[in-house]
Each structure stands twice: as structure tokens, then as C-alpha cells.
């Protein structure tokens, strides 16, 4: 099995009946690109920029960020790159930012909420990104923890202003769908953005009301819970009404059975830790999309996450 995965990792994730899913990597720096491509990555679906803040112990200025984004785009040599705007708060605390302590950080000022309150963080980041876009490459930007249309409107207005100031090209702007409200309202939000990337780690946490880091609840925090799958389905349907594409960049995208189910639900891009790519590609290449669609339909009608997991091997091109 490992030999087959090794041989196929450079091939596209095309099902036996000709449906292709884009496979991307979750990596944060240019020096990881060669390794990710060697594993079979076709681009970067999630660059978590908070790592720039965490690793340096200080806030990187516009020049430092520009250098990092430009280096990533150059290393990718024309392959797609999705950079996520700073996602701080919740599980991602940055000591040197001295943010106020909150009773419920996961329900507090995190992600887009923080960006909109801290333009001193958002503006240099967007300037650095648009400057990198001016240098070429296939750059997209997405915003974390989006809950409402107002947030999208405020962020896109700011992006357009900065783009104008820098005389930079348009960059596709997307959002993370990781709050149930965004999934439920996907048909509305899709009018205002170019793409969705579902963050199943947080979407699972907020749907099941289980802290994603809780040591006693890890087994119950299953992204294949039917309630989460229904929200993913709703997101895909809402996006397709407006011709938008949907990816998944949470952990479940790197699980072969999860990837098969997501593909059956109509997800078009899967972004994961590079080492997960070969097994996911092999699984999809030995499946038929018609079977995955049927598998997804069965999963949506399951009563429990355990019932969904029991479908693995029962259908969907087990390899």
C-alpha cells in the first residue's frame, strides 16, 4: 500500500470516473514548499500567518511580512497560495500583543473580530499581501472566524482601499467557514466573497460545544459527526448557488475516509499536513465520485458519528 501511495503522490486526485479534487498543503514558510510538493501538494491551501508572530516573539512589520509572503509565492512558482489573515485569540495566544484577558477566549475577540479592532495589525498585513500580489504568483487571502456579512463588508472595503493605494491587482478574497452561523448563512455570505475554506477544527468545536483542546472530550469532538456534515453540506450548497468554490483546511481533510466523504459532499479542494497527502490521494484515485456521493448521502442521514465511521469500508471505494 505504501509503495502505491508513493508512486501516485505526484498524480492528481482524480477519481476513477474523472472527477478531480485539488490537493493542497497547510504550511507556513517557504522552506517547507519543496517538501510539501514532494509529498504531492499542488499548492498551499492554508498559510497560518500567526506563526510569523509566534516564532519571532515580536510583531513583524510590513517589510518582514512582505518578505515572507513573497518568498512563499516565489517558492510555489505559480502554484496557488492561500494566505490566512492573522488568526489570534482562542487557542492562539500571542503574549507580546498584551491583549485583554477574557473569560471565554473562544467566544471572544478572536480572528476577524480582532483584526477589525486592531487596524494596526490588519493594515500592515494587507499592505504586505498586496505588495506580494504585485510581484506575481497565484495569491488569495482569507479571513478567519467570520460570523457576519458586516465583517466581510468591512474587511473587503479595507482591502479595496489598500489595493487602490498600492495600485495592486485584485486578489481573490475568501473566508473561513468555522462558525455555525457562517455555514447556516452560506448562501448569503457567498454573495460577498470569492471562496470558502471550511475550518472543521473550529466548526466542530462550535457545533458540538466541545473545547477543541479538552483532554477528556477529544474522542467526542469528531468532525464526522452528522451535525457537522450537514453544515458542510449546507456550505457547499450555499456556495454553489453563487458559483463559489469550497475547500476544507481542517484536520479531517487529511484523513482518507474524511477526504472521501468531503469529496462526496462536493468539496473541491482539500488542504492538509503534507505527510497526509499521499494516502488521501491514493484513496480518492481508487474511488468513483458516484460512490462518494452515495456515501455522503448515507452519512448525512446517519444518527451518530460512530454510524458515519462504520460506513468506512462498507462503501466509497475502500482501498
Per CB under 5 A, residues contacting Mg ion are 178, 199, 202
Select the residue interacting with ligand PEP from 151, 178, 255, 312 (CB under 6 A).
178
- If one asks whether residue 291 binds ligand PEP (CB under 6 A), the answer comes out as no
Least Cβ distance, residue 181 to ligand PEP (angstroms):
15
Select the residue interacting with ligand PEP from 45, 174, 250, 316 (CB under 6 A).
250
Residue with cell 466548526: 203
Residue 232 · residue 259 · CB < 8 Å: no
Distance from C-alpha of 297 to C-alpha of 292, rounded to nearest angstrom: 9
Question: CB under 5 to 8 A by kind: which of ligand PEP, Mg ion, none does 48 bind?
Answer: ligand PEP
Distance from C-alpha of 103 to C-alpha of 89, rounded to nearest angstrom: 12
Distance from C-alpha of 196 to C-alpha of 183, rounded to nearest angstrom: 10
Residue with cell 458540538: 208
- For residue 268, report the phi and psi dihedrals to the nearest 5 degrees: -105, -15
When the beta carbons of 87 and 255 are compared against ligand PEP, the nearer one is 87
Select the residue interacting with ligand PEP from 5, 194, 202, 255 (CB under 6 A).
202
- If one asks whether residue 8 binds ligand PEP (CB under 6 A), the answer comes out as no
- If one asks whether residue 49 binds ligand PEP (CB under 6 A), the answer comes out as no
Select the residue interacting with ligand PEP from 177, 246, 249, 295 (CB under 6 A).
249
When the beta carbons of 19 and 48 are compared against ligand PEP, the nearer one is 48
- If one asks whether residue 48 binds ligand PEP (CB under 6 A), the answer comes out as yes
DSSP per-residue string spanning 259-284: HHHHHHTT--EEEE-GGGHHHHHHHH
When the beta carbons of 8 and 87 are compared against Mg ion, the nearer one is 87
Quickly count: other Cβ atoms within 10 Å of residue 202's Cβ: 24
- Taken in order 57, 58, 59, 61, the sign of the CA dihedral is negative
Site for ligand PEP in 87-146 (CB under 6 A): 87
E-state strands within 162-255? 173-177, 195-198, 245-248
Question: CB under 5 to 8 A by kind: which of ligand PEP, Mg ion, none does 200 bind?
Answer: ligand PEP
Residues that bind ligand PEP (CB under 6 A): 46, 48, 87, 178, 199-202, 249-250
Amino acid at each position: 500500500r505504501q509503495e502505491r501511495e508513493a508512486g501516485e503522490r505526484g498524480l492528481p486526485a482524480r477519481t476513477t470516473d474523472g472527477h478531480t479534487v485539488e490537493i493542497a498543503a497547510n504550511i507556513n514558510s517557504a522552506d517547507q514548499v519543496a517538501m510539501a510538493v514532494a509529498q504531492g501538494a499542488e499548492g498551499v491551501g492554508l498559510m497560518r500567518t500567526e506563526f510569523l508572530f509566534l516564532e519571532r516573539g515580536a510583531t513583524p512589520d510590513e517589510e518582514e511580512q512582505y518578505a515572507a509572503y513573497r518568498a512563499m509565492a516565489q517558492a510555489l512558482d505559480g502554484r496557488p497560495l492561500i494566505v490566512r489573515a492573522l488568526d489570534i485569540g482562542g487557542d492562539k495566544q500571542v503574549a507580546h500583543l498584551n491583549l485583554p484577558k477574557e473569560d471565554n477566549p473562544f467566544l471572544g475577540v478572536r480572528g476577524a473580530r480582532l483584526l477589525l479592532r486592531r487596524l494596526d495589525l490588519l493594515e500592515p498585513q494587507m499592505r504586505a499581501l498586496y505588495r506580494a500580489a504585485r510581484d506575481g504568483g497565484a495569491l488569495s487571502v482569507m479571513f478567519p472566524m467570520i460570523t457576519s456579512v458586516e465583517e466581510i463588508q468591512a474587511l473587503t472595503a479595507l482591502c479595496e482601499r489598500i489595493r487602490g493605494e498600492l495600485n495592486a491587482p485584485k486578489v481573490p478574497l475568501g473566508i473561513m467557514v468555522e462558525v455555525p452561523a457562517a455555514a447556516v448563512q452560506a448562501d448569503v455570505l457567498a454573495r460577498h466573497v470569492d471562496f470558502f475554506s471550511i475550518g472543521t477544527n473550529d466548526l466542530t468545536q462550535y457545533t458540538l460545544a466541545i473545547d477543541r483542546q479538552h483532554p477528556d472530550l477529544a474522542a467526542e469532538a469528531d468532525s464526522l459527526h452528522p451535525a457537522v456534515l450537514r453544515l458542510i453540506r449546507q456550505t457547499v450548497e450555499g456556495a454553489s448557488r453563487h458559483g463559489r468554490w469550497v475547500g476544507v483546511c481542517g484536520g479531517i481533510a487529511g484523513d482518507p475516509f474524511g477526504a472521501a466523504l468531503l469529496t462526496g459532499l462536493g468539496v473541491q479542494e482539500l488542504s492538509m499536513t503534507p505527510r497526509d497527502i499521499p494516502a488521501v490521494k491514493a484513496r480518492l484515485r481508487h474511488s468513483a465520485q458516484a460512490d462518494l456521493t452515495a456515501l455522503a448521502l448515507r452519512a448525512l442521514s446517519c444518527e451518530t458519528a460512530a454510524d458515519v465511521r462504520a460506513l468506512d469500508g462498507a462503501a466509497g471505494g475502500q482501498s
